[in-house]
Amino acid sequence: METPNPQDVSFFEKARNWISNSITLRLFTIGILILIMLIPVSMIEDLIRERQYRQSDAQNEISSTWGHPQTITGPVLSVPYTIYNKVYEKEGSDKFKLVPATQYVHFLPENLKVDGNIQPEVRYRGIFEAIVYESDMEISGNFFFPDVSNWEQKDLFRWNEAFVSLGVSDLRSIQEDVKIMWENQQQSFEPGIPSYDVMGSGIHVKVSVAPFIDENKRDYPFKMNFKFNGSNYIKFTPIGKTTDVFLNSPWPTPSFDGAFLPDKRDVSKKGFTAHWNILNLNRSYPQYFLGSTSGISESAFGVSLMLPVDQYQKSMRAAKYAVLFITLTFMVFFFIQIINKVRIHPIQYILVGFALCIFYTLLISLSEHMHFGVAYLIAATSIVLLTSFYAQGTFKNTKLSFMLAGIMGILYGFIFSIIQLEDYALLVGSIGLFIALAVLMFITRNIQWYSNK
């Protein structure tokens, strides 16, 4: 019978001992396991995005039946005029005929004042919620015509066909008949707009103007009340030479956005008030123009009614730190393993990693039904207890299990503080990581990394 070579036995024993005791190999294995954990982490981020999309779909469905976000443009006074285009009988021919066509000259208000109240309401579609509102606006001001007596071809302007347009982005949400006080007479608006030079959708009313017939009559005051529904936000365009917008609402979490921020605002738990004062010098388009002009829609400003807590945004921010959390937890297990000479199998690392990933699914599902902070506490406590009980069976040491639970609790608290402190997240995160690195360096200062023990 052939006996094994002593040199071969010695080699295999050394290899087995190196595999069993090498710190470098353990670190390499942990690194591979962390990379494997990227797969469930990416799946969790996809899950959060999918829930965000479903929330957005639910909000769009509510908006489609109640009223979409509103942008109010106007009122704008428009006067049609006739132009004649040359139409040649055939290509290369000198013979042509003049074909009349209609274009419009648009006059913007000299002064525009909007005084509005927004009454918000939370609507639900399943577990998802959306912000809708009812708005009551009083719009007043005046139009002041320039001196048109020196205009070329002024006789082509059809003053008797003048009309006032009011741009409304979602006409279905208008709640009652809209009437304008013009020349001491009350007139009702009609659906649609004859010209799309200034706005994409809206309502109009024919009015009487005579700046050329009566040169002394150049000022036309107006006033109207306007009730409509909307959702998410409301915006206005500053088309007045001087535009003043006053808004008030009991909603406590507004977000002012658009081309202009309010000059004055007061936000409290009881709601908000805001005032914008915008001059024509603050925008790029004139007070009257022929045809279309650019920059009107880009100058819109207003307010969004924000939900106080967006659980999906916070869950996504928490998921961004998943790899960091898994790495720090694995490092805790690793140092317990080498300092206390406890054997931990790679499968046990994977199970702990999966438990850490389950935390995020618990957080997402719970936060859809309760406050995010409560959901975070329940999910974190569940995972800490699960992991510490599992570690108790692995370490066979109650003290180490309690220490692990304490460290994980500190880590979860650290991540929660970063999520809450949006403005100081980088500062707090950097300080926290510095402290964690300092602790690791202190604990491992006496480890002989080249040793197999």
Q: Report which of 211, 283, 251, 14 is spatially closest to residue 117, judged by C-alpha positions.
A: 251
Are 35 and 99 in a shared domain?
A: no
**Closest among 356, 350, 347, 346 to 404, alpha carbons compared:** 356
Domain boundary, last residue among 289, 308, 327: 308
263 occurs within a structural domain: yes
Of the two residues 453 and 446, the one the predictor is more confident about is 446
Q: Taking a C-beta distance cutoff of 8 angstroms, is the pair 362, 379 a contact? A: yes
**Spatial CB neighbours of 247, under 8 Å, sequence gap ≥ 6:** 114, 116, 117, 118, 234, 272, 273, 274, 275, 303
Give yes or no: residues 299 and 367 share one domain: no
CA–CA separation, 192 and 203 (whole Å): 5
Both 124 and 234 in a single domain?
Answer: yes
Backbone torsion region of residue 448, taken as left when φ is above 0, otherwise alpha when ψ lies between -120 and 50, otherwise beta: beta
Domain membership of residue 451 (yes or no) is no
The Cβ of residue 73 has, within 10 Å, a number of other Cβ atoms equal to 24
Among 23-27, 140-144, 258-262, 351-355, the least confident range: 23-27
pLDDT (average), residues 309-332 = 84
| The domain boundary residue, chosen from 287, 308, 329 | 308
Q: Is the pLDDT of residue 398 over 70?
A: yes
Torsion of CA 251, 255, 256, 257, to 10 degrees: -140
pLDDT band for position 452 (cuts 50, 70, 90): low
| pLDDT, mean of residues 18-39 | 77
Residue 132 belongs to some domain of the structure: yes
Q: What is the pLDDT of residue 1?
A: 47
Per-residue pLDDT band at 449 (split at 50, 70, 90): low
> Which region among 206-215, 339-348, 418-427 has the lowest average model confidence (pLDDT)?
206-215
Token code pair at residue 41: 């982490």
**Contacts of 19 by beta carbon, 8 Å cutoff, 6+ apart:** 25
Evaluate if residue 122 carries a pLDDT over 60: yes
Residues 293 and 332 in one domain: no
What pLDDT sits at residue 123?
A: 85
pLDDT > 90? residue 243: yes
* Whether the Cβ atoms of residue 210 and residue 224 lie closer than 8 Å to each other: no
pLDDT in tens, 209-224: 876 555 556 788 999 9
Rounded distance between C-alpha atoms, residue 53 and residue 47, angstroms: 10
- Summarize the confidence of residues 394-406 as an average pLDDT: 84
Residue-wise pLDDT tens digits, 137-188? 999 999 987 766 666 666 677 888 889 999 999 888 888 899 999 888 899 9
Q: Are residues 79 and 164 in the same domain?
A: yes
The confidence score (pLDDT) of residue 246 equals 95
Give the structural domain span for 342: 23-55+312-443
Is residue 277 within 8 A of residue 240, CB to CB? The reply is no
Q: What is the residue-averaged pLDDT of the chain?
A: 84
Residue pLDDT, tens place only, 59-118: 888 888 888 899 999 899 998 888 777 776 677 666 767 777 788 889 999 999 999 999
Q: Which of 238-242, 272-276, 425-429, 445-449 has the lowest mean pLDDT?
A: 445-449
**In the listed set 277, 308, 339, which residue is the last one of a domain according to the structure?**
308
Verify that 277 and 405 share a domain, yes or no. Answer: no
Is the per-residue pLDDT at 351 higher than 80?
Answer: yes
pLDDT at 391 > cutoff 90: no
Q: Are residues 223 and 371 in the same domain?
A: no
pLDDT band at 27 (very low <50, low <70, confident <90, very high): confident
Model pLDDT, residue 278: 93
* The pLDDT of residue 135: 93
What's the pLDDT at 347? 87
pLDDT at 17: 59
**Count of domains in the chain?**
2
